[in-house]
A and B are shown apart, each in its own frame.
Chain A
């Protein structure tokens, strides 16, 4: 089993809504959708982000578009206007997701 980083097979964009961050995850090739669906689960993403995500992680599957939307709760205490983080928007967090490693069959 070869390991791959998500950035090798997928791309992502992050958006913020106060203390909630959403991250899309989109395979470059549709054929990798199933692999991502199997391994990039809500639990795996929650574990990957560790203490950056204090709440739950919810995954939405877009079968037709071949993409996922992850909603991460409790990422930025106070939201963009009040968080102390340098990246108060969490706009860099898409690249944190892409650091995740999965096994390629």
Chain B
């Protein structure tokens, strides 16, 4: 029976490149997918594009393509990636340049355009999921709007024989599902197979999170050699079932436990996982360990795709000021609490225009608040973290400057003060009609 081997060489924008190279070199892949785009990443990319029309593609595109294009030619796999981010066309040109420079020729490169829908917003009347507000209330603050494209928009590039396909915003699972649909000629309304393929795609899309990353708990869930964790691949069968595994000799672990955790990662109703391609049903999935680091996946299914597309809107939301100061030894917690009181008094005295402020004691309540209270010991060291949000950059700067001022003006023994102010780009979600997008594919031949 024919199987296709699809690997995941990145699970987020900054993921390890050497692990992707190992997978590309030893994975006997037909397809290598690089998933490099989160809600915030793409909003930042749009800002870069506004500054320079030749930018706005994904961070590390040059490094990834330089490392992987020669292997793509040598091993004969195809690359599918959303590294195009806010500017797939610029990513295409940059990739062509790298192919020429590295001698990865001949190469057919495709860019899938059409996910940028910012200009369409004024004509669309939709609700923002998070706030329930009308889209039109947000439009004046929106700096980006990207619709999640799917398999349908990627497929023509595969049919035209592209070696490298670069998209903007695409639903993550669609990057993996597209080659399955292409290779097995699944009709785009074959909901059962699209659902099964989406199960495998969802398991792969966060890279090592299914092969030992984001899992280890020493003594309870031990994972060998995380420094060398192997990125995953799926051996997909024509039935839509398949095996999740990784390259022999790499670190990490693929087990029914890692697969269960990843299947339920970032989902709501497991029987109703929405993508542009299908409404996938994860609720009856079965994992079976076929061999060490090989898990057989069956039981996925699906039903008709949603009528609309999800879109993410990036919105300016002021500035985040963040600063930390540490205390250790006798009365460390009391000194940190005193420092907090001083900061609150100073913020009031300076009349800082802050929308929100928050203080946390790392080692006590920074992550889980009150939870775990009874088992908590008094720590020897603590870090006080102050975080503020303001529409005015100057006020955010003054707030973190006050933390720095604790060197001389606060409790005794402050250690290791750090401060930063960053632009806040909030991400909101909405749905848009499918007929609002105008997909287009641009090809370049590198000879």
Contact with B along A16-53 (1 / 0, CB 8 A): 11111010101010000000000000000000111110
B362 at the interface (CB under 8 A from A): yes
Q: Which A residues from 29 to 81 make CB contacts under 8 A with B? A: 48-52, 58, 60, 62, 64-65, 67, 69, 71, 77-81
* Closest A residue by C-beta to B259: A65
Contact present for A11 and B217 (CB under 8 Å):
yes
Listed residue (A52, A58, A62, A96) with the most chain B CB atoms within 10 angstroms of its CB: A62
The 5 A-B residue pairs with the shortest CB-CB distance, nearest first, are A15-B266, A24-B264, A13-B261, A82-B426, A84-B387
Extra inter-chain contacts (7) besides given A18-B429, A50-B370, CB under 8 Å: A22-B268, A60-B268, A65-B263, A67-B264, A81-B427, A87-B367, A96-B372
Q: How far is B390's CA from A84's CA once the two chains are assembled, in angstroms?
A: 11
B residues less than 8 Å from A7 (CB atoms): 217, 220
Contact present for A84 and B358 (CB under 8 Å):
yes
Contact present for B270 and A86 (CB under 8 Å):
no
Q: What's the count of A-B pairs with C-beta under 8 Å?
A: 137
**Chain B nearest Cβ from A24, distance in angstroms:** 4
* Closest B residue by C-beta to A24: B264
Other-chain residue from A67, A81, A87 in contact with B425 (beta carbon distance below 8 A): A81
Contact present for B389 and A82 (CB under 8 Å):
yes
Chain B residues at the A interface, C-beta cutoff of 8 Å:
39-40, 43, 129-130, 214-215, 217, 220-221, 257, 260-271, 282-287, 299, 317, 320, 356-358, 360, 362, 366-372, 375, 385, 387-389, 424-429
Other-chain residue from A15, A26, A78, A85 in contact with B267 (beta carbon distance below 8 A): A15
Known: A15-B265, A65-B260, A86-B387. A81 touches B426 (CB 8 A): yes
Q: How far is B217's CA from A93's CA once the two chains are assembled, in angstroms?
A: 14
Other-chain residue from B282, B317, B366 in contact with A87 (beta carbon distance below 8 A): B366
* Closest B residue by C-beta to A93: B368
Contact present for A26 and B260 (CB under 8 Å):
yes
B residues less than 8 Å from A99 (CB atoms): 368, 371-372, 375
Contact present for B426 and A79 (CB under 8 Å):
yes
**Chain B nearest Cβ from A61, distance in angstroms:** 9
**Chain B nearest Cβ from A67, distance in angstroms:** 5
Contact present for B299 and A64 (CB under 8 Å):
yes
* Closest B residue by C-beta to A95: B368
Listed residue (A28, A48, A64, A79) with the most chain B CB atoms within 10 angstroms of its CB: A79
**Chain A nearest Cβ from B181, distance in angstroms:** 26
B residues less than 8 Å from A19 (CB atoms): 130
Other-chain residue from A13, A16, A28 in contact with B262 (beta carbon distance below 8 A): A13
Contact present for A82 and B424 (CB under 8 Å):
yes
Q: How far is B426's CA from A60's CA once the two chains are assembled, in angstroms?
A: 29
A104 at the interface (CB under 8 A from B): no
A residues less than 8 Å from B360 (CB atoms): 85-86
Contact present for A13 and B214 (CB under 8 Å):
yes
* Closest A residue by C-beta to B131: A19
Other-chain residue from A26, A58, A64, A96 in contact with B368 (beta carbon distance below 8 A): A96
Other-chain residue from A79, A82, A92 in contact with B367 (beta carbon distance below 8 A): A92
A residues less than 8 Å from B320 (CB atoms): 82, 84
* Closest A residue by C-beta to B217: A11
A residues less than 8 Å from B217 (CB atoms): 7, 11
B residues less than 8 Å from A28 (CB atoms): 257
**Chain A nearest Cβ from B5, distance in angstroms:** 25
Contact present for A92 and B368 (CB under 8 Å):
yes
A residues less than 8 Å from B368 (CB atoms): 52, 92-93, 95-96, 99
Listed residue (A60, A65, A71, A80) with the most chain B CB atoms within 10 angstroms of its CB: A65
**18 A–B pairs (Cβ distance < 8 Å), ordered by A:** A7-B217, A7-B220, A13-B262, A13-B264, A15-B264, A18-B429, A22-B268, A24-B265, A58-B268, A64-B283, A69-B264, A81-B425, A81-B427, A82-B317, A84-B389, A86-B366, A87-B366, A91-B214
Contact present for B424 and A86 (CB under 8 Å):
no
Q: How far is B368's CA from A52's CA once the two chains are assembled, in angstroms?
A: 8
B residues less than 8 Å from A81 (CB atoms): 39-40, 43, 317, 424-427
Contact present for B387 and A48 (CB under 8 Å):
no
Q: How far is B262's CA from A15's CA once the two chains are assembled, in angstroms?
A: 10
Contact present for B267 and A69 (CB under 8 Å):
yes
**Chain A nearest Cβ from B427, distance in angstroms:** 5
Contact present for A65 and B286 (CB under 8 Å):
yes
Q: How far is B285's CA from A65's CA once the two chains are assembled, in angstroms?
A: 7
* Closest A residue by C-beta to B221: A11
* Closest A residue by C-beta to B266: A15
Q: How far is B264's CA from A51's CA once the two chains are assembled, in angstroms?
A: 24
B residues less than 8 Å from A78 (CB atoms): 317, 424, 426
